[in-house]
A and B are shown apart, each in its own frame.
Chain A
């Protein structure tokens, strides 16, 4: 875990400094006024960019150890402050999308597996394969389009979800009405992945000997499904859901763009564009940390769901 994070730190640190230009050049050139080398030098000194790379890296690492992530090179505000609100938003959308996907995927996948090769199965499979094919941002555009047109028709005036992010505890109603749409747009694709996984895992389990034994001893089908089949099939499903969730923390970039949400993904694009080294570095570490932590949680979950792994 720690070596991977350290590797990610080295990678992002070096990569960022490969990009031609730095934040000082960008800021001074952006202000439009004439600037000379001395102004550039002062700016770089303030940002600590004039020091050797090794020193910069050591300073950054020393900061991380003390949970000090420094100040944004672009806005001058603490990095933690910049990230906090946006991370909240992305996390909430990711969690909502995960809930949507789980609620949809497990029953759909189970029905599809139990009624294999009937019309129920075909409809479910069609639904999920369409979800895999549709880009989330296009679905987002379609949702906005549908909202605009239907509100125009039924309410008389077009309505859009509010643009400004309101934290959940301040106004739950407005918060949910704003975030439900992006959550649905990403949740559909997500549920498609999970549905397919549930179906194939369950199909495999249903052919196992212990399911046949359960049937032979006359157990009712409902109990077989709940106790014997579904419980064993959920293992790979949990993995897929966990991996997709981890992916969503940083991978919402496109959906955030469609719905104009100021999430982590959008912040990342901005930070890279501004050559804001400190902010980009912190964001990358955050995304990597979430990714690695999720994998860790999946491993623990595995042991909990499957005692065989625990005893090995």
Chain B
């Protein structure tokens, strides 16, 4: 009897420890506690799937011009209609998810991470280094995000890689500033002194002792920048200074025909904009949930 019970406990424990069970519980928790955040995450996952499986899902080649089918309204053949070159809009939106997600993920990840390291380093070293660093950040923050991105694009040229660079650079100081504020408080906690007393190097203290403790603001910034990066990429592409034709990108799809043919072919203007809005919406919802979960001060209720 006793043996049986201990066996059952062991079995239960084993089951509890399986990663699958953990995942299932985490999902259930998320759906019940943060239904909006879960909805956002679901849309994001759907978008990722769409981007990865684009060649399988997309009904047509997104870059093939079909001149017999210019400006077709939405129909059974072309669900969302065709654009001024006869390209299928649905296919272009599906492939466009690749561009949006690539730019969104890479630039916010790189930008926020660099900001994290720089912000923590600035707080850790303090003194003159901190002062100079803050002034440099001030200079970078004295311009709107889009002006900074435009400047970078005009130096390095257009194209996906340069757009990523252009969005990454203005993100760095914004993240660094927020992370620095949290890191300043952590610097005063005794374990940092203890680590120093142990004779650890600066790099080790920064990366192993301070960075893990400012993860909350970092993750909050990271998720909120993803939405902004997608929006910024769309804006740059719309201005003709971002991703270039014929690469499918949502902002670019709004640039060419959207305004010119707004009256006769409104679907060209409507659907890519919906795609942008929906993805930014999803990232915002998810970001809000992350913020609520990680920052008790901002918890809404």
Contact = CB atoms under 8 A, between A and B. Distances in A.
Q: State yes or no: do A and B come from one complex.
A: yes
Contacts of A162: none
A291 B143 contact: yes
Contacts of A135: 231, 234-235, 238, 251, 273, 276-277, 280
A284 B276 contact: no
B135 A137 contact: no
A117 interface: yes
Contacts of B186: none
B229 to A, nearest CB: 13
B283 to A, nearest CB: 9
A50 interface: no
A148 interface: yes
Given A7-B135, A149-B263, A269 B150 contact: yes
Nearest to B258: A141
A246 B143 CA distance: 9
Contact of B300 (A130, A148, A200): A200
Contact of A137 (B154, B238, B263): B238
Interface in A285-312: 287-288, 291-292
A56 interface: no
A83 interface: no
B285 A129 contact: yes
A134 interface: yes
A288 B238 contact: no
B99 interface: no
Contacts of A130: 277, 281
A19 B154 contact: yes
B42 to A, nearest CB: 16
Interface string B200-244: 000000000000000000000000000100010011001101000
A145 B266 contact: yes
Interface stretch (A28-36, A39-47, A61-69, A251-259): A251-259
B269 A4 contact: no
Given A133-B281, A138-B276, A15 B151 contact: yes
Interface in A184-208: 200, 203
Q: Which 6 A-B pairs have the closest CB atoms?
A: A138-B273, A7-B139, A133-B281, A251-B144, A288-B142, A133-B280
Interface in B117-160: 135-136, 138-140, 142-147, 150-151, 154-155
A237 to B, nearest CB: 15
B233 to A, nearest CB: 10
B298 A145 contact: no
A129 B238 contact: no
Contacts of B284: 129, 132-133
B77 interface: no
A145 B267 CA distance: 11
Helix, strand, loop or mixed for chain A's interface? helix
B235 A132 contact: no
B254 interface: yes
Interface string A231-270: 0000000000000001101110110011000000100110
Given A133-B280, A133-B281, A145-B269, A7 B138 contact: yes
B262 A145 contact: yes
A209 B289 CA distance: 28
Given A19-B155, A129-B281, A137-B254, 14 more contacts: A4-B138, A132-B280, A133-B280, A134-B280, A135-B235, A135-B251, A138-B276, A138-B277, A145-B262, A145-B269, A250-B146, A254-B238, A257-B239, A287-B147
B232 to A, nearest CB: 10
Contacts of B151: 12, 15, 272
Interface in A127-182: 129-130, 132-135, 137-138, 141-142, 144-145, 148-149, 152, 158
Contacts of A258: 259
Contacts of A58: none
A142 B147 contact: no
Contacts of B259: 141, 144, 258
A15 B285 CA distance: 37
